[in-house]
Amino acid sequence: MEAKEILANIAFTTSGALVDCVDKKVLVILRDGRKLIGILRAYDQFANLLLHETIERVYLGNRYGDIFKGLYIIRGENVVLLGEVDLEKEDEVPASVASAIPSSAVPKLLEACAAENEAKEKWDKQRAAILRRECGFSGEGAEGDSY
């Protein structure tokens, strides 16, 4: 292989890999689970991102709602995943996969998501209690939980 071919096949492992995504529509998943879709306008060496015309997409089952956020700055350490959105395939998503709800129904969607999250937290607490009681697991931050 020639040097040019080798360099063309080397994957960037730094924020320099984002150069191909500038001015393109991207999906960003954050550590807290939020999903943001916007146009990547700028980034820095820490992978801090500047998104333009950003929306937050909230899912509940196979339904989703979009909340407009506008210009959005994301701290790089909060990014779990970033990927380019294929604009041609985005319009071809069948209604059976996911369907958008009208913007007037977004507040109800947010309430339903909050209720679902509360139910998940309650279940997680119950499961943790069972694991501690019956399987000998220790609670988070409890004695024996350190390295």
Q: pLDDT digit string (tens) for 76-107? A: 999 999 999 988 887 776 655 566 777 777 88
Q: How far apart are CA 90 and CA 96, in angstroms?
A: 14
pTM, rounded to two decimals: 0.68
Pick among 2.60.40.1180, 3.10.20.30, 3.40.50.12780, 2.30.30.100: CATH of 3-101: 2.30.30.100
Q: How confident is the model at residue 143 (pLDDT cuts 50, 70, 90)?
A: low
Inter-residue contact 47 to 35 (CB < 8 Å): no
Q: What average pLDDT is seen over the chain?
A: 83
**Is 50's pLDDT higher than 90?**
yes
How many other β-carbons are positioned within 10 Å of the β-carbon of residue 137? 15
pLDDT number for residue 96: 55
Residue 36's Cβ-count burial label (10 Å; 0-12, 13-18, 19+) is buried
Domain ranges of the chain: 3-101, 102-137
Q: Which residue has better confidence, 30 or 103?
A: 30
Give the whole-number percent of the chain exceeding pLDDT 70: 84
